[in-house]
Each structure stands twice: as C-alpha cells, then as structure tokens.
Structure 1
Amino acid sequence: MELLGFHREPENTRFTDAAVAYVLVALWHEGRLLMVRVRGRDCWELPGGGIEPGETSRQAAVRELWEESGQPVSEEGLRFVGFARTALPAGDGPRRRVLYGALYTAEVSRAEPFVPNEEIAAVHWRDGDEPLEGGRVQTVDEYLAALCRL
C-alpha cells in the first residue's frame, strides 16, 4: 500500500475521485499501540478492514477491531482523525487502485486477551518502534498511528 496523502476533513466527507472503502483503528493501552499480524501477509499493521454495505465507517471500525483483535470499543469511544488516501496495486501492470480509508483512534483501560482466528495470527501492544517478530511493520500504518498518538 502506498500513502498518497492524508486529509483532515469532516467524518461524513465523500470524495469525488475515490470511495471511502476501509477503516483503520489506532488503539492504545498504557501508551502502547495495538498491531495485528495478518495471516498470509506476514506483516504487522493497524486493525481494520472493509466497510460493508449499509455500514458507516464508524460502525465498521468497531466491528473490524472486535473481529481482528477481540478488543471492544463503542462507537462513541472512537475519535475520528481523518482520511488516508492510498493506492493499491491493481493486478499485473502499472495501474493502481486509489481508495480512502477512515482513520480512528481510541484508548482502552484494559486489554482483552487475544485468541488467534482465521484472519489474524497474533497481536502485539507495541511500545515505540521496536521490531516485531513474524514480519515487518507496515510503514504507512506507523505513519498514520503517529498522527493520532494520544
């Protein structure tokens, strides 16, 4: 994924050049950032994923965080930060798919235990920029997390 820009627009903004198609959540606990390791990608990233039909980006953020990490956060507990404009490779060739992702942040007072699932192999509460075993850390996600450090 390539970060093309970051926009601090209102949460209900719709863009003419691409859809708001996914969400990311920077979740903090005692100053540490939650990272998830996605199976098959061997990298660490922020929890998040696609917005389902009929779902708001805020609802998707709550759902994706729960599905990927088992961490419960209410819609009201999320703070909207802005939109990441990103490009993804579109198969073979030079074409890229441009999408917007809604970025949210929150803090939890208690970290719930994690149970590996079909999508996520592990989670880690990261302190600073230490390297993580099992894959590289997505640099785009590191940058976005820094924008919403509590």
Structure 2
Amino acid sequence: MLKVNFYKLGLIKDSELRFAVIVAKHNGKWVFVRHKERETWEIPGGHREINENIEDAASRELKEETGAIDFNMIPVCIYSVERDKIESFGQLFYSEISNIGELPNSEIGEIKLIDSIPNDLTYPLIQPYLLKKVQEYYVYSK
C-alpha cells in the first residue's frame, strides 16, 4: 500500500528531504517530461545531491529536465511517499517558467505542455496528488 502525505514547510528536518518535485507552468500550460527510457509522463524533479540545498536541487532539476532558462521557484509544502510504514520525504515546488531553451542532453527525451494531467503517468499513485496540491496552492495564492 502506498500513501502520499503532506506537511507544512519546516515541519520535517531539511536533512530528511531527499527529492525536489516541481509542478511547473509555461504559457498557461502544465509542464510534463518523458524519460528517454519510458513512454510515460512525469512532473519534473529528482534526487537531491550530496551537500545541495533543496532549493538548488529544484532549480537544477527544472533546468536539466525542461530546458527552463527564466523561472521562479515557490516552495509549496513537504510531501512524503509512505510504503510499508517507511516514509521518503521531498519538497514540492511551483514554478512559472517564462523562457524555455533547448532541452539539455540528459535522461529526458521530451517535454509536453498540456492543459490537464496526462493519463499515462510514470507514477500514477503519486503525481495526481502532487499536482492537486499545487493547483490548490495556486488557486489559493491568487
């Protein structure tokens, strides 16, 4: 059984945050990426590197996975994925990308700008919850 939990920023120690996930928009469309070795779509993000702060990890991942050049980065909350009573923590961000350049040579094969979440997700038990949380934040912050 898998469960997604959400926590306010600062409630989980920074050292526990392993992932940065960035729900992003560009020209009013949601940004999804496809890994070169998969046929499914995912929200940009990835693992935090050793001695990297979580905000820098989020910026790096967004650039590497989308080609984003000009963007903002807004922390939304901490999330966790709980499986067999073991929780893995990450920080969820929202980003408005104003300028996208060439896609860097990385594990990402392509990006897709769409109005709603795709049906063919890499992590269908996790990603819809993360997107919904950011959509709630986005509506509330306007």
Identity of aligned residues (%): 25
User: Under a length normalisation based on structure 2, what TM-score does the superposition of the two structures give?
Assistant: 0.78
Residue 145 of structure 1: aligned partner: 131
Conserved? CA contact 2:70–2:98, under 8 Å: no
Q: Aligned to 1:45, what secondary structure does the other structure show?
A: coil
Contact 2:12 2:78 (8 Å CA) reproduced: no
Aligned residues: 134
How many angstroms apart in 2 are the aligned matches of 1:87 and 1:39?
27
In the alignment, structure 2 segments of 5+ residues that lack a partner are none
Query: Is the 2:79–2:91 Cα contact (8 Å) retained in structure 1?
Result: yes
Residue 125 of structure 1 aligns to a residue in which SS? strand
One of 112, 117, 122 as aligned partner of 1:129: 117
Partner Cα separation in structure 2 for residue 87 and residue 81 of structure 1: 19
RMSD: 2.7
User: Quick one: which of 74, 77, 86 aligns to 1:82?
Assistant: 77
Query: Could you tell me whether the CA contact under 8 Å between 1:8 and 1:82 is conserved in 2?
Result: yes
Of 51, 55, 73 in structure 1, the residue corresponding to residue 52 of structure 2 is: 55
Q: TM-score, normalised by structure 1?
A: 0.75
Give the match for residue 23 of structure 1: 20
Task: Report if the CA contact (8 A) 1:3-1:84 is conserved.
Answer: no
Give structure 1 regions of 4+ aligned residues with deviation exceeding 4 angstroms: none
Q: CA deviation at 1:113?
A: 4.1
> Among 95, 101, 104, which residue is 2:90 paired with?
101
Bigger helix share: 2
